Amino acid sequence: MFVQIDNLSKQFDTQNGNITVLKNININIAEGEFVCVVGASGSGKSTLLRQIAGLDTPSSGEIRIGGVPVKGPSPDRGMVFQNYTLYPWMNVQENTEFGLKLQGVAKRERRERASYYLDVVGLSDFARSLPNQLSGGMKQRVAIARALVCEPKILLMDEPFGALDIHTKESMHEFIIDLWQRTKITILSITHDVEEAVFLSNRIFVLSSRPGTVKKELTINLAERGADAKRHAIFQDYRDELMGLLRQYGAEGLVAAKI
Amino acid sequence: MPQKPKSNLQDSSTQPNRSSLRPSVFWQLAEDIPPRLNWVLSGISLGLPLILWWGITTFGSIDPKFLPSPSAVIIAAQRLWGAGELQQDTIASLWRVGVSFLLSAALAIPVGILMGSFASIRALLEPLFGLMRYMPAPAFIPLLILYQGIDEAPKLSLIFIGTFFFNALMVMDTVKFVSKDLIEATYILGGNRLQTLAMVIFPHVIPGILDTCRINLASAWQLVIVAELIAATEGLGRRISVAGRFLRTDEIFVGLIVIGAIGLILDLLFQYVIRVCFKWSNNN
């Protein structure tokens, strides 16, 4: 498998003692798949993504991407954060180029590659704009372009559309599906939005809360993922199933937390 | 059946309306006032004391040795300007502030950024700086005279001591506003620590650093006057000190007003530079 997460566990030392956030996580992702990890708050899904990004080290277990163990952050794994994290003093073009600049790519090549991906995300006209002149959806598209410019093996997204209003969110869903189909990139997204997960994913991993463990793996087979897909019966069946699972495991977590 | 409390049975129309928040222009919390009102109030802020000063000295019977009239102060200013003394004093004071504050900032900015960026450096320096900050710089004057004599050196040192620790600690605080996500995003894009420091943290804190300098320049400007009151041959502080000895109250006023005006101009200049050069940080 392209992404292999074997028996990953993560504990944190806190004032209230040792807390297990993730326990025995096993997730495999094939190249080119779009996978969502869904869980209630407290399920450690962001912690999981941080381990994969290399921003944090697992307490036990291993993560391999393309056979290479994850040791630390690297441009091999692009990441999109919920709150955009654009460099506010750089314009859109400079933001998009920045990863290449850090890696020492020559100016001309930088410019060309960034321009290509700005075109992919449809923001060529805003290359000279500063982030605070953009809407939330546009900022997130810049963040996606910035990640893609480095040509990562996998794109990690941490609740990427969580801060957007519902209309922007829906258009971003269609945008990211379209982008995924064109670039064939492997995507792992974290979300608590059930519709988002069903709409975007090939497969969904459902995490329980405290400690986060994989409770269920759902394979989603949607014939089409156009704007109308959300109204089809099969979509709603998937959504209801996932909602039920989340309610079940989220509630378990709440009970567990009280004890 | 339990009886409901009486108040709940009352018809809502008979209850007095709870008062709603009335609109206000003058007393709006955390809102701007109209530009015209802003100008009028700012005018009153400076104009009213001036008028009071003028009125008291014109219609009151106050000894001009205690309170000279505005016109007497203007005449004194013209006299000092004509003799070239006012320019000489102003340049001397500005030069002292300029040199020592530049040295202070040049050292404090990198130290402050390192303290803000690395918890280790912070643990190493913050206790000492926190302590030094509470020692009033003028209290070092006897030591400085002992070590450095009464030439320029102790004056520059005084301003340096009085601003360095504040500069460093306040620059350190500006680094806290760089979000951890932004730093981690840089790692993921392939940045190493040095690149993150130089290409992300540093540009992010420049407006904050300039603001820190703006604030601490005020203390530098106060300290130069203190330094010149002790021992100096020229400078605005020296001018005030000498004028006091000869009861030239009008010249004291000239000195005070020039000091205040230069401070205000420097402050506005910094504000202007920050606003114009760092548009990206305005809306955040």
- H-only helix segments in A121-200: 136-149, 166-183, 194-200
Q: Is the pLDDT of residue B117 over 90?
A: yes
Tokens of B218: 């005020």
Q: How confident is the model at residue B169 (pLDDT cuts 50, 70, 90)?
A: very high
Of B184, B203, B283, the CB nearest to A55: B184
Cβ B187–A88 below 8 Å, yes or no? no
B31 lies in some domain = no
| Predicted local confidence at residue A6, as pLDDT | 85
| Predicted local confidence at residue B272, as pLDDT | 92
Provide the strand spans (E) within chain A: 3-14, 17-29, 34-39, 60-65, 68-69, 77-80, 154-158, 186-191, 203-207, 214-219
Question: Min CA distance, B137 vs chain A (Å)?
Answer: 37
Nearest CA in chain A to B179: A85
Q: Is the pLDDT of residue B248 over 50?
A: yes
Greater confidence (A119 vs B105) lies with B105
B101 lies in some domain = yes
ipTM of the complex: 0.88
Cβ B189–A146 below 8 Å, yes or no? yes
Phi, psi of A38 (to 5 degrees): -120, 140
Decide: A18 and A12 in contact? Cβ < 8 Å: yes
Among B188, B205, B274, B281, pick the best mutation site for testing chain A contact (most A Cβ within 10 A): B188
CA distances from B228 to A104, A162, B144, B157, B242 (A): 52, 60, 13, 13, 11
Cβ B185–A83 below 8 Å, yes or no? no
B contacts of A77 (beta carbons < 8 Å): 188
| Predicted local confidence at residue B60, as pLDDT | 83
Cβ B186–A102 below 8 Å, yes or no? yes
| Predicted local confidence at residue A258, as pLDDT | 41
Flag whether residue A117 sits within 8 Å of chain B, measured between CB atoms.
no
Give residue-wise pLDDT tens across range A26-38: 888 888 889 999 8
Cβ A89–B278 below 8 Å, yes or no? yes
The strand pairing partners of A60, in sequence order, are: A9
Cβ B189–A102 below 8 Å, yes or no? yes
| Predicted local confidence at residue A66, as pLDDT | 84
CATH number of domain containing B185: 1.10.3720.10
Of B181, B199, B283, the CB nearest to A85: B181
B10 lies in some domain = no
Q: What is the mean pLDDT of each run of 10 residues along chain A (259 residues)?
A: 83 83 86 87 83 88 86 88 90 93 90 89 88 88 90 89 84 86 89 84 84 80 74 80 80 47
Write the CB contacts of A138 (distance below 8 Å, at least 6 apart in sequence).
Answer: A123, A126
Question: Min CA distance, A121 vs chain B (Å)?
Answer: 18
Cβ B204–A88 below 8 Å, yes or no? yes
Flag whether residue A160 sits within 8 Å of chain B, measured between CB atoms.
no
Average pLDDT of chain A, as a whole number: 84
Q: Is the pLDDT of residue B25 over 90?
A: no
- Kindly report, as residue ranges, where domains of CATH 3.40.50.300 are found in chain A: 3-76+152-258
Question: Min CA distance, A255 vs chain B (Å)?
Answer: 32
| Predicted local confidence at residue A251, as pLDDT | 60
Q: Is the pLDDT of residue B155 over 80?
A: yes
B contacts of A94 (beta carbons < 8 Å): none
Alpha carbons A23 and A60: distance in angstroms, whole number:
9
Q: Does domain A3-76+152-258 have CATH number 3.20.20.70?
A: no
| Predicted local confidence at residue B151, as pLDDT | 85
Write the CB contacts of B199 (distance below 8 Å, at least 6 apart in sequence).
Answer: A98, A101, A102, B186, B191
Give residue-wise pLDDT tens across range A128-147: 999 988 888 889 889 989 99
Flag whether residue A139 sits within 8 Å of chain B, measured between CB atoms.
no
B54 lies in some domain = no
Q: Is the pLDDT of residue B3 over 70?
A: no
Number of domains in chain B: 1
Q: Is the pLDDT of residue B284 over 50?
A: no
Alpha carbons A162 and A236: distance in angstroms, whole number:
21
Cβ B182–A150 below 8 Å, yes or no? no
B contacts of A147 (beta carbons < 8 Å): 188-189
Flag whether residue A78 sits within 8 Å of chain B, measured between CB atoms.
yes
Give the predicted TM-score (pTM) of the model. Answer: 0.83
A contacts of B278 (beta carbons < 8 Å): 89
Q: Which domain holds residue B82?
A: 70-281
Cβ B187–A78 below 8 Å, yes or no? no
